[in-house]
Amino acid sequence: MNKTQRLQKWYDDNPTADSVLYGEHMHVGANQTILRAGLHGMDMDENSVVLDMACAVGGNARWIASLYKCRVYGNDIDAKAIEVANELAEIEEISHLCTFFVSDAANTELEDASCDLVVSTDIYDMPEIARVLKPGGRFLLSSLFKDEAPSPTEIAKTWNLKLEMMRNVTELARTFHHAKEAEAHMLQKCGIITNKQLIQALNDIISPNRRGGHHLLVRWRKHP
């Protein structure tokens, strides 16, 4: 079974709106363009250790492992997604670089100060990130920041981090979700997704990401 076939089986076995619409990369930021922008200027090599927090089927983690030949960990609460991530790493012949395991974001069980980089899209736990990052390690996040949520500057102050980079990608995110809304309607008309899946996609995924706040790409560095 090749990568495309394994992913298609995942979509067939998990016909939820996010899987059907968003595919392997289920969030804004879980794609190579945004990830490359966030990693730009960093010295990544085969000695780097990376955690992809709440990795789903491990799209970002496997991309980083393939690009830099470095050790990458990925955790998620969805055991089926982790199974797919491990199988895809085998198919891509990078299983020796990737370790995917079931855990929630608050308890990865990785060693203290063991990671040079933590990446996440939307789902993250700051106490756990601060614990696993090495001094000088980075946290790269793409997420919707609601107006009432702590700002990147406030997060930096609270967790002894330096705000190293911040890009407002709100317009990109709005365009992304507008396209996904159009795709959802098209898939429903073609009979690929049901009316229930369409409503779920619009109410639970697309609409919340288009209401208020700013979608930011942020990189912090832990103080030495």
Q: What percent of the chain lies above the pLDDT cut of 90?
A: 58
Distance of alpha carbon 33 from alpha carbon 41, whole angstroms: 14
pLDDT over threshold 60, residue 215: yes
Q: Which residues contact 159 (CB under 8 A, 6 or more apart)?
A: 126, 129, 130, 220
Distance of alpha carbon 157 from alpha carbon 159, whole angstroms: 6
- Residue predicted with more confidence, 127 or 203: 127
Over residues 70-86, the mean pLDDT reads 95
**What single-letter DSSP state applies at residue 149?**
S
Write the pLDDT tens digit of every residue in 198-212: 887 777 666 666 567
DSSP letters, 14-53, are ---HHHHHHTT--STT-SHHHHHHHHTT----TT-EEEEE
Token pair 């009432």: residue = 148
DSSP letters, 172-220, are HHHHHHHHHHHHHHHHHHTTSS-HHHHHHIIIIIITGGGSSSEEEEEEE
* Gyration radius (Cα) of the chain, Å: 17
pLDDT over threshold 90, residue 10: no
Residue 133, classed as helix, strand or coil, is strand
pLDDT over threshold 60, residue 133: yes
Average pLDDT, the chain: 88
Write down the pLDDT at residue 185.
86
Q: Which residues contact 213 (CB under 8 A, 6 or more apart)?
A: 144, 145, 146, 147, 149
CB 77 within 8 Å of CB 104 = yes
Q: Output the CA torsion sign for 106, 108, 113, 118.
A: negative
Write the pLDDT tens digit of every residue in 146-187: 888 899 999 999 999 999 999 998 888 888 777 878 888 888
Write the pLDDT tens digit of every residue in 19-49: 666 666 655 555 678 888 999 999 999 999 9
Over residues 77-90, the mean pLDDT reads 95
